[in-house]
Structure 1
């Protein structure tokens, strides 16, 4: 029962990942910020008309009130103005008003005459406000809301990059290859029964793994940064990647139900090869610096080799950071948070080894069910991104 509750809890956390905004929605918003829609007023007046003078003053007062308003004024006695007025009157089927002033065209509306700001002035403002509302329709119903039992509806878009960094890093951290490599290092050092050496070699492995993994995420970040203009293609790519990742972790879950989770394929051979080398280095005790270099290379190789096994999550995180257009300081902050939660399980194993001189791990069943949770989360991500392109 406890394991079921734990799995449900992780699934709930995984749902929060769907707070990623649609690339297209942000693109439209950015375009509106750069080129805000306008309502045009075309005002025809005569220099000798008192009503025209009153409307001139009224238009001056509302200009600052409506930044989206563009006011063009034409002296009706000019030949070019007469032609424009005739065309507009014909368009509105109002040729009978030719020769009368003031005449005001507010977007698609024609308003004849002017008396004061409370009567015709109010009609002009109502026309402006109505047409601005048409140009800036209220947002459609939020499709990022999901209904959860007991909790009810929640708006996924309100969750910050910080939450996404924590959740993605946490799920990404359950990597059997990397954790197994750390256990190997700690197991070899525990034979020496030296706490300082456990801290040195275990800490070095964790530090190198975090740095190399961070560099790999940064390279994906750079790729997404240059692909940012092709937003729909990015959505398709990330969506398909999510589906592929879901299939991969679902297969891992099915396989692990029959046998223990382990690295497989070419990655397993490479890991085994370098594991034998590092064991040999510890057995020969060729000097502290030789062991440090060996652990450094071992950690770097393991991190690079196992990266394709779980590339879906770090690639998604890199895409989110690139899309958010973060400052370098904010980018580094979120990356450090992600890496901390990515390494959290290994940090816990490391600290237990330091303080107890023993190695304790989660059961194989926990790792198995976490594979299923990851599959569910990644399927959800993939579907979300693919649907968002329509």
Structure 2
């Protein structure tokens, strides 16, 4: 995401200087403007200077100098420097802390002039204990990213109902159950899910790495939103006109080969190590084939996480949560197959409904990223986005399957 850097200081005449490095291409910078305008209006001795940093390199030297004065490196995030303190990101908590620090610099004690600070190590900032939690084996985490945890859980849950993944898993389990061996079902099921999850995790990590490196370019942020828009529209289209035109599904030409690989696991006399190895090879091939069908939500989620400028340690925690929730649904199906020794095959009709729900959620996320990105920095706003998309999906299904047919109107190929 494009950078936004603020710096405050009190000069000899008690004026507090604010230096804003932003860009008109940065949605978060635009979303933060009303806050800055109100801060300016509420403080007569606050003086704000704004500098564009993406469309021109004219102010990069000033930015580098001020960053060096605080002992940090400019990055692809909203970075806020206030009298020696540094905040990363934009959220209600951060805005409240900035407001309090401006008040402190204006009315309590003088703060250094950020534009004239010499290069030095970054000062230690005492964390706000009211907004941090300690995660075992990791350390303190600021609660302003609680919305990111919540968004991760919701997106992973929706992604877990991916029609392509569920179709492959139910077909595989249905075939293996015919072997009559619960042990074989367990070995193949666990190995298959472990391999596909590992490949999924590697793919998501790669996307996050690329976006985290490039999000300082304004068009990359818009590209993520455009990606969500395209994937969403195609999935909604597939509810009405399945596989007609562009469609993110498993190509029919790959299915005979997939069935051959699955049936190859049913041969008798194969040792457990050989069975595991054969399942790994099969799972890796299928995971790569279905990746275009399953890539939508991981790319969107990676863009949201990269926009928060989290470090790799926290990203690993979020990714672990994502994969755990994503796999949870498939693990429930596997457990049910082991207990009942039967599995219902995933049908096209069910897949179309899931595509509609997922597509509308992608469209909602695209709209939020383009118009109101600050909504995703609040738990209530995030929940409203998902519930709104779900309500729209229910309404469309009722209209399509009940209301319009009763009126003699039919849309789509169902």
| TM-score interval for Structure 1 and Structure 2 normalised by the shorter chain | 0.5 to 0.7
Q: Determine which of 181, 184, 189 is the counterpart of 2:171.
A: 184
The aligned counterpart of 1:304 is 288
Q: State which drifts further: 172-181 or 341-350.
A: 172-181
Match of 1:175 in 2: 162
- 1:13-52 residue pairs with structure 2 within 5 A? 23=1, 27-28=3-4, 31-32=5-6, 35-36=7-8, 38=9, 40-41=11-12
2:174–2:345: 8 Å Cα contact kept in structure 1? no
Pairing 1:247–2:161 present: no
Q: Scaled by the length of structure 2, what TM-score is found?
A: 0.55
Query: Pairwise CA RMSD of aligned residues?
Result: 3.4
Alignment of 1:76-115 (within 5 A): none
Q: How many residues align?
A: 257
Structure 2 contact 225–300 (Cα < 8 Å) conserved:
no
Tell me the equivalent position of 1:372: 356
- For structure 1, the 5+ residue unaligned runs are 1-22, 43-62, 71-127, 137-141, 143-156
Aligned match of 2:321 in 327, 337, 345? 337
Query: Displacement, 1:253?
Result: 0.7
Identify which of structures 1 and 2 has the higher relative contact order when contacts are C-alpha pairs closer than 8 Å and 6+ apart.
Answer: 1
Counterpart residue number, 2:220: 234
- Report whether the alignment pairs 1:208 with 2:195: yes
Contact 2:164–2:293 at 8 Å: present in 1 too? no
**For 1:130, which of 38, 41, 44 is the aligned residue?**
44
Q: Is the radius of gyration larger for structure 1 or structure 2?
A: 1
Deviations 1:47-104 (A, max 9, x none): xxxxxxxxxxxxxxxx7xx9x479xxxxxxxxxxxxxxxxxxxxxxxxxxxxxxxxxx
The residue that corresponds to 1:195 in the other structure is: 182
Using the alignment, how far apart are the partners of 1:257 and 1:371 within structure 2? Answer: 12
Q: CA deviation at 1:372?
A: 1.4
CA distance, structure 1, for counterparts of residue 17 and residue 161 of structure 2: 56
Measured in 1, the distance between the counterparts of 2:146 and 2:349 equals 31
Distance 1:238 1:252 in 2: 21
State the Cα distance separating 1:386 from its structure 2 match.
Answer: 2.9
In the alignment, structure 2 segments of 5+ residues that lack a partner are: 19-41, 51-91, 93-143, 374-414
Higher helix proportion (structure 1 or 2): 1
Counting only pairs closer than 5 Å after superposition, residues 273-292 of structure 1 correspond to structure 2 as: 273-283=257-267, 285-292=269-276
C-alpha distance in 2 between matches for 1:273 and 1:286: 21
Deviation at 1:297, TM superposition (A): 1.4
In the alignment, the residues of structure 2 paired with residue 223 and residue 324 of structure 1 have an alpha-carbon distance, to the nearest angstrom, of: 14
Whether 1:353 and 2:347 are equivalent positions in the alignment is no
Give the C-alpha shift of residue 218 in structure 1: 0.4
- Does the C-alpha gap of structure 1 residues 133 and 262 become closer, same or farther in structure 2, counting only changes over 3 Å? closer
> What is the deviation of 1:308?
1.2
- Against the structure 1 CA distance between its residues 337 and 272, is the aligned structure 2 distance closer, same or farther, given a 3 Å change threshold? farther
Q: Structure 1 residues 293, 133: closer, same or farther in 2, change over 3 A? A: same
Distance verdict in 2 for CA 1:201–1:167, change over 3 Å:
same
Q: 1:217 to 1:385 in 2, by over 3 A?
A: same
2:221/2:303 contact within 8 Å kept: no
User: Could you report, residue by residue, the CA deviation over 1:151-208 in whole angstroms, capped at 9, with x for unpaired residues?
Assistant: xxxxxx9861111111111222222332222223322332232222222111111111
Shift of 1:224: 0.8
Q: Residues 369, 133 of structure 1: CA spacing in aligned structure 2 closer, same or farther, 3 A cutoff?
A: farther
Following TM superposition, by how much is the alpha carbon of 1:134 offset from its aligned partner in structure 2, in angstroms? 6.7
Shift of 1:222: 0.9
